[in-house]
Amino acid sequence: MQTIVWDVDDVLNNLMEAWLEEAWKRAHPRCRVSFSEIRANPPHRVLGIAEAEYLTSLDEFRQSAAAQRLQPNRAILDWFQVYGDCFRHVALTARPLGCTPHAADWLFRHFGRYIRCFGVVPSRPDSQAPLYDRHKGDFLAWLGVADFFVDDSPGNIRSVAALGIETVLYPQPWNRSTQTVDEVLNALTGKVVVS
């Protein structure tokens, strides 16, 4: 059975959009930047703030009750309900280690029927933890089982594509994906192996 590796934030959920609307704009009501204008990730320059301020705000939101209430990406969840059992699934996130338990809890509540493996590549160094992987490509080289990789980050796509794994850039305003969400999911459906 083939294996799909899924990014969590901004693929399986809408973390950036929720953070912008529910955390950043509420704390900064003068902010007029819309989600569709977030043309870079991290978006600190788009917002006119320091990267550290953005990361602090995002990490606080990641650990909030509002983040735990994030709804799963409906299109992907619907796809899982029809095609999920045709593949094995791994979730792979890049978050600070302190924010990872919240992601794991959210993931298994919404996608645990299909996703049985959860991996993390710390997005920022932690002097108390060993550095096993610099990026998702390193993690997947170690794991050795991925057939397809879905992520919203062009950098992650490049690091994984270099391994010969088939990649799919999930469309978000900050990347140059030429596909719609439906096209991404239809491409994965086309990979179903009929036995």
Residue 86: which CATH number? Answer: 3.40.50.1000
**194 domain residue, yes or no:** no
Answer yes or no: do 78 and 64 share one domain.
no
Answer yes or no: do 56 and 90 share one domain.
no
Report the distance separating Cα 155 and Cα 67, nearest Å.
25
Report the distance separating Cα 189 and Cα 165, nearest Å.
17
Answer yes or no: do 85 and 45 share one domain.
no
Non-local (6+) Cβ contacts of 19 within 8 A are 57, 58, 61, 67
**Residue in the block written with tokens 């997947």:** 140
Query: What tens-digit pLDDT sequence spans the chain (195 residues)?
Result: 999 999 999 999 999 999 999 999 999 999 999 999 999 999 999 999 999 999 999 999 999 999 999 999 999 999 999 999 999 999 999 999 999 999 999 999 999 999 999 999 999 888 789 999 999 999 999 999 999 999 999 999 999 999 999 999 999 999 989 999 999 999 999 998 765
Answer yes or no: do 84 and 153 share one domain.
yes
Q: Which of 68, 92, 107 is the last residue of a domain?
A: 68
Contact criterion met (CB below 8 Å) for 62 and 102: yes
Answer yes or no: do 8 and 103 share one domain.
yes
Answer yes or no: do 56 and 110 share one domain.
no
Which structural domain, as residue segments, surrounds residue 163?
Answer: 3-13+72-189
Answer yes or no: do 47 and 84 share one domain.
no
Answer yes or no: do 57 and 142 share one domain.
no
Report the distance separating Cα 150 and Cα 89, nearest Å.
11
**Residue in the block written with tokens 């096209």:** 183
Q: What is the pTM of this model?
A: 0.96
What's the confidence (pLDDT) of residue 7? 98
**195 domain residue, yes or no:** no
Identity of the amino acid at 117:
C
Domain count, the chain: 2
Report the distance separating Cα 150 and Cα 160, nearest Å.
10
Q: Which two tokens stand for residue 98?
A: 């302190």
Burial status of residue 185 (CB atoms within 10 A of its CB: 0-12, 13-18, 19 or more): buried
